C-alpha cells in the first residue's frame, strides 16, 4: 500500500503542477486581446491607384539585402508571380471585368497570426505595434508556420545550411526608428498608405463612399482571418484578382484553442482515472487469485 500512497501523492503533486501550468497557459491566450487594445499599425493598399511599376519590389529587396529583382520579370496577366525566399513582396497583374488590375502580395500581418500560434518557440512573433516578425535565434526550422498560414506567406531557404524563414516584416526596424515601411515611403502612385488600422479602415471606407463606382464595396483584411493589418481596396470582386475568398472570418488560432484548452484537464484527470481503474481491477485480480 505504501507505493500506492506514494503514487497518489505523485499524482497529486503533478496535478498541482499541471494546474499551475494550465493557468499560465490560459493566461497566455487573452494577452492577444490585451495587445489589441493598443492600436496596431498597418498598411492600406489601393489597387485602383497601383500602376504596377514594381518600385516597391526594388526598395524592398534593397532594404532587406535580398537579390536585386530581375528587370525581365515584370507582372503580366499570363503568370501569377509568387513571393519566395528571395522576394518578400510581389506585384501581379490580373485581367478583370474592369480591365487590367494590379495587386501587391506580401505578409498580411494578421491580428491573431496563425504562424504565431503555430510556432513552438515564438520565433514568429506579433509585436505590440502590429508587425509579425521572425526571430532567427528562436526558430528551429520546422516549417509548421508554413503549414498553418492561410495566406501561404512564410518562405523557407531550402538551399541553405542555416535556413531562414523569409517574409515581410512591415520593415519593423524602420518602424522602431520612427520611420514607415520602405514600400509605402517609395510608392510613386501613393497606392500604399501607412497608419493605425483604425485610421486606415476609416480612410478606406471614405474612398468607397466617395467613389462607389470605382470601388468594389469590400475591404479585404477587415474581417478575413480574424482581421489583418494589411488592408486592400479593389475595383473588382477580390476573387478576380487572385485573393483567397474562402477564408474564415474567425482567427486561425481559434481553430486550435479548443484542443489546447483540453490538454490541461486531460493531463490532470486521465492519470487519476487510470489509477482508479488500476486499483479497481487489481482488487478483482486479488479476489480471483484468492478463490483459486
- Can you give the binding site for other proteins, defined by CB under 8 A? 3, 7, 10-11, 14, 24-25, 28-29, 82, 84-85, 114, 117-122, 136-144, 146-148, 150, 152, 155-163, 244, 246-248, 252-253, 255-256, 258-260, 263, 266-267, 270-271, 274-275, 277-278, 281-282, 284-285
Report the nearest approach of other proteins to the CB of residue 227 (Å).
Answer: 16
Give whichever of 214 and 255 is closer to other proteins, judged by the CB atom: 255
Report the nearest approach of other proteins to the CB of residue 14 (Å).
Answer: 8
Give whichever of 51 and 140 is closer to other proteins, judged by the CB atom: 140
Report the nearest approach of other proteins to the CB of residue 139 (Å).
Answer: 6
Give whichever of 148 and 193 is closer to other proteins, judged by the CB atom: 148
Task: State how beta strands 230-233 and 41-46 pair.
Answer: parallel
Q: What is the DSSP string of the chain?
A: -HHHHHHHHHHHHHHHHHHHHHHHHHHHTTHHHHHHHSPPEEEEEETTT-----HHHHHHHHHTTPPPPPTT----TT-----BTTBS-EEEEEEETTEEEEEEES---BSS-HHHHH-SS--EEE-SSS-EEE-TTT-----HHHHH-TT---EE-TT-SS--EE---TTHHHHHTT---HHHHH-TT--EEEEEHHHHHHHHHHHHHH-TTTS-S--BTSSGGG-BSEEEE-SS-GGGGT------SS-TTHHHHHHHHHHHHHHHHHHHHHHHHHHHHHHHHHHHHHH-
Give whichever of 120 and 209 is closer to other proteins, judged by the CB atom: 120
Report the nearest approach of other proteins to the CB of residue 128 (Å).
Answer: 15
Report the nearest approach of other proteins to the CB of residue 59 (Å).
Answer: 23
Report the nearest approach of other proteins to the CB of residue 92 (Å).
Answer: 16
Report the nearest approach of other proteins to the CB of residue 130 (Å).
Answer: 19
Residue of 79, 86, 18, 80 lying closest to 58 (CA atoms): 86
Give whichever of 209 and 270 is closer to other proteins, judged by the CB atom: 270
Give whichever of 118 and 192 is closer to other proteins, judged by the CB atom: 118
Give whichever of 75 and 113 is closer to other proteins, judged by the CB atom: 113
Amino acid at each position: 500500500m505504501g507505493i500506492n500512497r506514494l503514487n497518489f501523492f505523485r499524482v497529486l503533486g503533478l496535478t498541482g503542477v499541471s494546474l499551475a501550468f494550465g493557468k499560465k497557459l490560459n493566461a497566455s491566450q487573452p494577452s492577444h486581446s490585451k495587445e489589441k487594445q493598443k492600436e496596431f499599425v498597418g498598411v492600406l493598399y489601393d489597387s485602383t491607384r497601383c500602376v504596377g511599376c514594381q518600385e516597391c519590389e526594388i526598395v524592398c529587396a534593397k532594404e532587406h539585402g535580398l537579390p536585386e529583382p530581375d528587370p525581365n520579370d515584370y507582372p503580366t496577366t499570363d503568370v501569377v508571380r509568387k513571393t519566395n525566399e528571395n522576394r518578400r513582396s510581389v506585384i501581379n497583374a490580373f485581367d478583370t471585368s474592369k480591365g487590367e488590375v494590379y495587386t501587391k502580395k506580401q505578409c498580411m500581418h494578421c491580428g491573431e497570426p496563425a504562424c504565431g500560434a503555430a510556432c513552438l518557440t515564438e520565433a514568429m512573433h506579433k509585436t505590440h505595434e502590429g508587425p509579425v516578425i521572425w526571430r532567427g535565434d528562436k526558430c528551429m526550422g520546422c516549417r509548421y508556420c508554413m503549414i498553418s498560414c492561410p495566406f501561404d506567406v512564410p518562405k523557407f531557404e531550402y538551399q541553405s545550411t542555416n535556413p531562414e524563414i523569409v517574409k515581410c516584416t512591415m520593415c519593423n526596424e524602420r518602424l522602431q526608428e520612427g520611420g514607415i515601411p520602405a514600400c509605402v515611403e517609395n510608392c510613386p502612385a501613393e497606392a500604399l498608405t501607412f497608419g493605425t488600422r483604425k485610421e486606415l479602415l476609416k480612410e478606406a471606407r471614405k474612398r468607397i463612399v466617395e467613389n462607389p463606382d470605382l470601388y468594389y464595396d469590400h475591404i479585404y483584411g477587415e474581417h478575413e482571418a480574424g482581421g489583418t493589418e494589411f488592408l486592400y481596396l479593389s475595383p473588382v470582386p477580390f476573387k478576380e484578382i487572385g485573393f483567397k475568398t474562402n477564408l474564415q472570418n474567425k482567427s486561425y488560432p481559434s481553430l486550435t484553442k479548443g484542443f489546447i484548452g483540453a490538454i490541461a484537464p486531460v493531463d490532470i484527470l486521465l492519470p487519476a482515472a487510470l489509477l482508479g481503474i488500476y486499483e479497481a481491477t487489481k482488487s478483482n485480480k486479488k479476489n480471483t487469485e484468492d478463490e483459486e
